[in-house]
Structure 1
Amino acid sequence: MLQSGPLRPKILRIPRLTCLGTRSEGRNKSITAAIERGRSSGDRELEFAAGKDSRGDRRRFQAERATGPERRGAKNLFLGEKSLSTGSPRFAGAARGSYRNNTVSLRTTTSTNAAEHQERYGDDTRRSAARIESLPYTTAASEFIYGYSSVLAAIKANRRKLHKLYIHTRGASHAGLTALVARAKKKVDIREVGDEYLQAFDKASSGRPHNGFILEASPLPVPPLISLVSSNINLGQFEVALDSQSREDLEVNGKQTRFTYNSAGWRHPLVLYADGVLDEGNLGAIARSAYFLGVDAIVTPTRQSAPWSHIALKASAGAAEAIPIFKVNQGTDFLGRSARAGWRIYASDAVPPLEQPALQGALSRIKPSAPTSEVIYTGARSTKRLPVEHCPVESHATILMVGAEGTGLRTSLLNLAHYKVGIRHGRDVDEIGVDSLNVSVAASLLCYDMLQKPKPRAAGNMVF
């Protein structure tokens, strides 16, 4: 420790005290060392007695920018008066300590910013505590349905056990709010929430549009199926054989084996089997189109298929809540059993070329007014086309198979089909290589054609 007196080395004048922080820690250490070397032992003892150990203080200090005499006064406090013995400037310990402890002239950057932030935005601590990060689960099996259409459909269908309906204040302006609340108030606990729930809403909907409506409910009933059994046009019913279920699954899926459908007095049921559809959006779109067009049920495999998640339910716009949905462990077993029960299986596939060139010439001679179809039916193991008036559901209960987005139906499933069905191209597919439709679009077109009531065959047109 250097003693004060005439032998003490002359201290360089430090023009300004810079901010001490972690970003320039090396430079700040040298500045601190220079200040320490210039302090007398009396200064250290005075500060130690006052409990002011400056070396332990790691906070960032910033001198308030004063103007005029205040700034000059701050300098003089650090520089002090000249020593009477040597005439050299010395540090006034007491004055320096009082300046450091002056909360008006010197303040921490952290406290300053916090005060300004609190004045402008409010207390962060209270706001964080009020913000809800995720919605609570009433049961371990609960799932969240989001979006006005999906929520309303789930309430209308009444196939789930409903727990809580969260309505954000922004959803109060929705045109259908009154109708939704009128249906829901007797079935579910309704909670109106504010902006503190926005993060929880986004998490429950995986960042997808929720319109300010989220419903907590039990899972969608998807009973396991062994086979389709029989159908009755007069009663408008078809029967299924269910697979075994656990007690928990039984509470969700139930044990119903007989389902009604709209036969309109003339048709058998149409069931859509979607094999290997991996995109949840496509699966939901298939359900939406199937319900709209009048398909009576949907079956999907438990493996190598997209789940009926909240994404698929949202894409279905609520249709999945109303149409019966089943799952099967082995698609080939399910199709084989159903075929033996009298159901006829149609496999979606590319339109085969005509067997004989003579038929192509005959097609060119058909009058434009003659009935034609963009949907082509053939035998499963031949390219012979069936009549244009062919209507599958008029003669037998029907299963329509559609395959994966990229590869289509597997060979093992194609071998089980009784018929094939395809959609005619509208242009030469070799132009840019687009040779197929999206699976949801193809399923829509095929279902629409299959459910059309046949028209009387035009006289003289026997080409098909």
Structure 2
Amino acid sequence: MLQSSSLRPTIFRIPRFVCLRARGNNRNKSITAAIERGRSSSDRDTDRGRSRNRETFAWGARAHSKPVRTGFARSGRDEPPKPYKTSPDSLLTYESAYTKDNDQFYSGRDRERRTLRAESLPYTTAASEFIYGYSSVLAALKANRRKLYKLYIHTRGSFHAGNDALIKRARSLGIQIEEVGDETLQSLDKASSGRPHNGFVLEASPLPVPPLTSLLSSRITSGRFEVALGSQSKEDIMVNGNQTEYMYKSAGWRHPLVLYVDGVLDEGNLGAIARSAYFLGADAIVTPTRSSAPWSHIALKASAGAAEALPIFKANHSTDFLGQSARAGWRIYASDAIPPGELPSLQATSSNAPQAASHSSVIYTQARSAKRLPVEHCPVESYPTILMMGAEGAGLRSSLLNLAHFKVGIRHGRDVDEIGVDSLNVSVAASLLCYEMLQKPKPRPPMNLLF
């Protein structure tokens, strides 16, 4: 039999984290209950920002000697507020109505944000695109390479000097014309992504960009060059066509010049290259399907309509395309930066009288040996030419440089680069190279045959 003295009370110690966890669970339950009643936990604890009444609120149990305030006494209601409901129509409206007077107070980013909620213009087909701006719309009408569906003209566009000529050309092509007012201006802004459209927006099919596998032969007499197309679906053929022969202006002496633009990811630069290439006389542009900016409405706007008239192609495999074109007789020139100080600058060569007569702002070298070619070297006089342009930072990829026959660089205007400006914008460089490569060579003086 056990003695009573041997029976001692057992004390169980509860860890502190268990107490805190239990207290936290109660806290979570109170927060959940407050949310269900339509109140936040901070409002319940502070009673909407007022000082806490220690006699009414306690961490353990509330004092029941005084009535508990519900938090809705300020509005005179004892029931919780009704949940806020958003009308679907409110998503399409704005706090201030749009007028032509307050349009000038919106910045470009605010206007783009404001047009995101506007209603879109109706699409004739799922693949339709919107061309905007007077120059781009007029170029699309003149080139007539796309399927043109509908032309929207805002009242501000009716005051344009070329409005009558544009409407006349659109009607001759059988295009539906719709004149709209300020009630449709937000939709026009949305179609142009907030960029200036001058009151002209044209719905059309996508820009024809057929795939190429190779460039083929060219003929100076007829001013034509041939291409080998890649595989296309029926839908792609409806947009791109299946043309394999293109005309160019040979002027009776030169072969075609085609730009291969690789790694240019800025759509504005891509459009600027197309604009310069068309203006200076280049005959086509080829871009890779990867590592290149798309021919979007931004690039088309930057080209000022040049992309509508200039043949544009895409290559699925860059190395295969360039290799097969080289085997077909095309010569490939790779644009490459010349380090400052490696060659005499323009200022140094201008002081040399014999060389100043035939000076050039570009330098041609052999791709393998870096041996300089004669100053009077003219690429398009002897062969059909491909000019490769790369990204501004990294330049051309090594896999493409290995396929080049020659390299071409732009001579610096300074002997020493003091601040690190060692190259040009890719669109500016393309302009200078196209200008120099398309210059007709001067007639060579007759050789002295007496000695």
Q: What TM-score results when the alignment is normalised by the length of structure 1?
A: 0.70
Q: Give 3-state SS (helix, strand or coil) of 1:314's partner.
A: helix
How far off is 1:224 after superposition?
0.3
Correspondence list, 1:325-404, <5 A: 325-351=312-338, 367=354, 369-404=356-391
- The alpha-carbon distance between structure 1 residues 372 and 458, as it changes in their structure 2 partners (threshold 3 A), is farther
**Pairing partner for 1:314 from 296, 301, 305:** 301
Correspondence list, 1:9-48, <5 A: 29=73, 32=76
**Pairing partner for 1:153 from 139, 143, 152:** 139
**Pairing partner for 1:202 from 189, 192, 202:** 189
Query: Contact between 1:298 and 1:323, CA under 8 Å: does it hold in 2?
Result: yes
Q: Corresponding residue for 1:421?
A: 408
- The alpha-carbon distance between structure 1 residues 326 and 23, as it changes in their structure 2 partners (threshold 3 A), is farther
2:218 paired with 1:174: no
Q: Corresponding residue for 2:129?
A: 143
How far off is 1:197 after superposition?
1.1
Q: Give 3-state SS (helix, strand or coil) of 1:165's partner.
A: strand
How far off is 1:234 after superposition?
0.3
Q: Deviations over 1:81-103 (max 9, x none)?
A: xxxxxxxxxxxxxxxxxxxxxxx
CA distance in 2, matches of 1:350, 1:268: 25
Which amino acid letter does the alignment assign opposite residue 232 of structure 2?
Q
Which amino acid letter does the alignment assign opposite residue 379 of structure 2?
P
**Pairing partner for 1:133 from 119, 124, 129:** 119
Q: Deviations over 1:173-219 (max 9, x none)?
A: 11110110010013210000011111111111111110000000000
How far off is 1:367 after superposition?
3.8
CA distance in 1, matches of 2:75, 2:130: 60
Query: Contact between 2:217 and 2:328, CA under 8 Å: does it hold in 1?
Result: yes
- The alpha-carbon distance between structure 1 residues 362 and 175, as it changes in their structure 2 partners (threshold 3 A), is closer
Q: Give 3-state SS (helix, strand or coil) of 2:441's partner.
A: coil
**Pairing partner for 1:186 from 164, 172, 188:** 172
Q: Corresponding residue for 2:244?
A: 257
CA distance in 1, matches of 2:134, 2:352: 53
Indicate the RMSD between aligned Cα atoms, in angstroms: 2.9
Query: Contact between 1:224 and 1:242, CA under 8 Å: does it hold in 2?
Result: yes
How far off is 1:30 after superposition?
5.2
Q: Give 3-state SS (helix, strand or coil) of 1:421's partner.
A: strand
Q: Corresponding residue for 2:418?
A: 431
CA distance in 2, matches of 1:265, 1:404: 34
Q: Deviations over 1:223-265 (max 9, x none)?
A: 0000001000001000000000011000000000000000000
How far off is 1:382 after superposition?
1.9
Which amino acid letter does the alignment assign opposite residue 367 of structure 2?
A
CA distance in 2, matches of 1:334, 1:136: 39
Which amino acid letter does the alignment assign opposite residue 183 of structure 1?
R
Which amino acid letter does the alignment assign opposite residue 384 of structure 2?
A
Query: Contact between 2:341 and 2:415, CA under 8 Å: does it hold in 1?
Result: no
Q: Corresponding residue for 2:64?
A: none
Query: Contact between 1:379 and 1:385, CA under 8 Å: does it hold in 2?
Result: yes
Query: Contact between 1:371 and 1:458, CA under 8 Å: does it hold in 2?
Result: no
Q: Corresponding residue for 1:241?
A: 228
Which amino acid letter does the alignment assign opposite residue 365 of structure 2?
T
Can you give the 5+ residue segments of structure 1 that lack an aligned partner in the other structure? 1-21, 34-54, 60-116, 119-130
Query: Contact between 2:340 and 2:422, CA under 8 Å: does it hold in 1?
Result: no
- The alpha-carbon distance between structure 1 residues 186 and 384, as it changes in their structure 2 partners (threshold 3 A), is same
Which amino acid letter does the alignment assign opposite residue 167 of structure 1?
I
Q: Give 3-state SS (helix, strand or coil) of 2:213's partner.
A: strand
CA distance in 1, matches of 2:277, 2:392: 17
CA distance in 1, matches of 2:74, 2:250: 91
Name whichever of 148-157 and 181-190 sits farther off.
Answer: 181-190
Q: Give 3-state SS (helix, strand or coil) of 1:154's partner.
A: helix
Which amino acid letter does the alignment assign opposite residue 237 of structure 1?
R
Which amino acid letter does the alignment assign opposite residue 152 of structure 1?
L
How far off is 1:339 after superposition?
0.1
- The alpha-carbon distance between structure 1 residues 29 and 374, as it changes in their structure 2 partners (threshold 3 A), is same
- The alpha-carbon distance between structure 1 residues 186 and 365, as it changes in their structure 2 partners (threshold 3 A), is closer
CA distance in 2, matches of 1:227, 1:297: 13
Query: Contact between 1:355 and 1:384, CA under 8 Å: does it hold in 2?
Result: no
How far off is 1:387 after superposition?
1.0
Can you give the 5+ residue segments of structure 2 that lack an aligned partner in the other structure? 1-47, 51-68, 83-95, 98-116
- The alpha-carbon distance between structure 1 residues 31 and 369, as it changes in their structure 2 partners (threshold 3 A), is closer
Q: Corresponding residue for 1:232?
A: 219
Residue identity (%):
75
Query: Contact between 1:389 and 1:457, CA under 8 Å: does it hold in 2?
Result: no
How far off is 1:370 after superposition?
3.2
Name whichever of 379-388 and 213-222 sits farther off.
Answer: 379-388
Q: Give 3-state SS (helix, strand or coil) of 1:185's partner.
A: helix
Which amino acid letter does the alignment assign opposite residue 348 of structure 1?
S
Displacement over 3 Å in runs of 4+ = 22-28, 30-33, 55-59, 352-357, 361-370, 457-460
Query: Contact between 1:224 and 1:326, CA under 8 Å: does it hold in 2?
Result: yes
Q: Corresponding residue for 2:65?
A: none
CA distance in 2, matches of 1:310, 1:350: 31
Q: Corresponding residue for 1:272?
A: 259
How far off is 1:285 after superposition?
0.2
- The alpha-carbon distance between structure 1 residues 31 and 240, as it changes in their structure 2 partners (threshold 3 A), is closer
Q: Give 3-state SS (helix, strand or coil) of 2:295's partner.
A: coil
Select the structure of larger CA radius of gyration. 1
